[in-house]
């Protein structure tokens, strides 16, 4: 008897990719435990600006209290026996830097003028400036560092815009230049970026370009450009082309280019793309793609609001892509963050309706401790979820 007779390595690795490369070894007791921080859904139609501000203050205070002594946020603790593929130590360096960059971005936008947050912000800035240049991929297969380079650039941009010191601005730009070089180094062979390389694990990653990773990188590169840092045209144009190749006629986007021959699988349909469409639309628009209009934004925003349950039903589920349309929990706050960016790009007359709708979704989901989270992820989930929710809710305040 030959037990490996029907084994198909390529299908096996595609399965691991699609499943989020999960290692499941947990007890049913852990899964069935009560959620002590679960917030009740609100039937309220609107939240006032003062109520939104109160939610923002509570979320910022959570980040203030949860900052690590070295200025970072997050850790590899709280595994709970359920862990995604994360080669050590590089994966956790990447996770911590990405979460720190997001948390710092939120505090810079909301609490930069609050003296109670000055020390917290200063420590986080130092951590990023010291640690980002040292970051590389965790292994030839795991490229979580692309998230850190992208969110790092966005945080550095905010630091640059708020600083009045020419010397400090120059130091920030130097790190931004280096982070762009890292995005060049880890660019997928077909353009754009992915966070796994399940193909040949080559020096230049041979893995599939992933639509929303491309979008995240492009938004970061636009921020860097607006800070006066030169961004290579080829890097941008290849990433834009990769997103366009993954765009479908119904304004959904493939999860990744590896699914181009399965465009109607659940994850690529509108419900499965709810957490990706806004990031991709926004990235294309800010880089001058005329086909992404206000009407396209409104169509996709209406879809997000009306079909929000497809995202919400996956929220807090412990296994990526286990929900309907293969939606993963970690798409929830990511999707709403880029939706908020899209709302910000609408005409002033169109913004209020969508601001109110996003606030109605996000405010009631705040936990009792002030955090938001959507996917149990070591000790990073509350921090990144809170940062994304804060950046989203800030854009729900009247301009």
CA proximity to 355, closest of 42, 50, 44, 47: 47
Strands (E) in the chain, as ranges, are 22-24, 82-84
Provide mean pLDDT across the span 77-96: 91
d(CA 321, CA 313): 11
Provide mean pLDDT across the span 364-373: 98
Reported as a single tens digit per residue, the pLDDT across 251-271 is 999 999 999 999 999 999 999
Residue 186 has pLDDT above 80, yes or no: yes
Name 83's bridge partners: 23
Residue 103 near residue 124 (C-beta atoms within 8 A): yes
Q: Is the peptide bond before 206 cis (omega within 30 degrees of 0)?
A: no
The pLDDT of residue 8: 46
Residues 6+ apart with CB under 8 A from 230: 177
Structure letter (DSSP) for residue 325: G
Provide mean pLDDT across the span 89-109: 98
Provide mean pLDDT across the span 154-173: 98
Reported as a single tens digit per residue, the pLDDT across 192-211 is 999 999 999 999 999 999 99
Residue 10 has pLDDT above 80, yes or no: no
Residue 79 φ then ψ, to 5°: -70, -35
Structure letter (DSSP) for residue 133: G
Any idea which residue has 């070089």 for tokens? 181
Q: How confident is the model at residue 43 (pLDDT cuts 50, 70, 90)?
A: low
Tell me which of 3.40.190.170, 3.40.1790.10, 1.50.10.20, 1.10.1660.10 is the CATH number of domain 43-394.
1.50.10.20
The pLDDT of residue 83: 85
For the question of whether the overall pTM of this predicted structure is more than 0.85, the answer is yes
Share of the chain above pLDDT 70, in %: 89
Provide mean pLDDT across the span 169-177: 98
Lowest-confidence range among 42-46, 91-95, 97-101, 360-364? 42-46
d(CA 355, CA 361): 10
The pLDDT of residue 80: 73
Whats the size of the chain, residue-wise? Answer: 399
DSSP annotation string for 183-249:
HHHT--TTSS--SB--S---SS--SPPBHHHHHHHHHHHHHHHHTT----HHHHHHHHHHHHHTB-T
Share of the chain above pLDDT 90, in %: 87
Sequence ranges of the domains in the chain: 43-394
d(CA 275, CA 332): 6
């Amino acid at each position: 008897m030959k037990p490996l007779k029907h084994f198909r390595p390529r299908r096996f690795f595609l399965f691991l990719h699609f499943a989020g490369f999960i290692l499941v070894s947990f007890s049913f007791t852990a899964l069935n435990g009560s959620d002590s921080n679960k917030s009740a859904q609100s039937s309220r139609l609107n939240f006032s600006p003062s109520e939104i501000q109160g939610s923002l203050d509570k979320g910022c205070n959570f980040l203030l209290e949860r900052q690590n002594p070295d200025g970072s946020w997050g850790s590899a603790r709280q595994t709970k026996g359920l862990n995604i593929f994360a080669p050590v130590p590089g994966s956790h360096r990447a996770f911590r830097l990405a979460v720190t960059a997001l948390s710092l971005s939120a505090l810079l936008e909301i609490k930069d003028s609050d003296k109670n947050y000055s020390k917290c912000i200063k420590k986080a800035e130092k951590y990023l400036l010291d640690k980002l240049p040292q970051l590389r991929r965790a292994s030839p297969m795991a490229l979580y560092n692309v998230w850190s380079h992208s969110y790092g650039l966005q945080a550095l941009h905010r630091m640059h815009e708020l600083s009045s010191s020419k010397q400090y601005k120059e130091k920030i730009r130097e790190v931004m230049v280096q982070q762009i070089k890292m995005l060049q180094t880890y660019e997928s062979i077909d353009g754009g970026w992915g966070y796994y390389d399940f193909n040949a694990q080559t020096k230049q990653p041979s893995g599939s370009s992933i639509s929303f990773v491309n979008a995240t990188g492009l938004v970061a590169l636009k921020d860097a450009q607006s800070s006066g840092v030169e961004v290579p045209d080829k890097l941008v144009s290849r990433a834009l082309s990769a997103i366009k190749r993954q765009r479908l006629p119904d304004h959904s986007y493939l999860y990744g280019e590896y699914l181009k021959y399965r465009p109607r699988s659940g994850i690529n349909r509108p419900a499965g793309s709810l957490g990706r469409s806004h990031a991709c639309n926004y990235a294309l628009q800010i880089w001058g793609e005329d086909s992404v209009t206000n009407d396209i934004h409104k169509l996709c925003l209406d879809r997000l609001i009306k079909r929000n349950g497809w995202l919400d039903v996956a929220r807090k589920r412990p296994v990526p892509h286990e929900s309907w349309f293969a939606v993963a929990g970690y798409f929830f706050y990511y999707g709403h963050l880029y939706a908020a960016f899209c709302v910000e790009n609408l005409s002033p007359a169109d913004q209020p309706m969508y601001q109110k709708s996003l606030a109605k979704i996000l405010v009631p989901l705040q936990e009792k401790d002030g955090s938001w989270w959507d996917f149990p992820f070591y000790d990073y989930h509350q921090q990144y979820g809170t940062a994304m929710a804060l950046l989203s809710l800030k854009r729900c305040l009247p301009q």
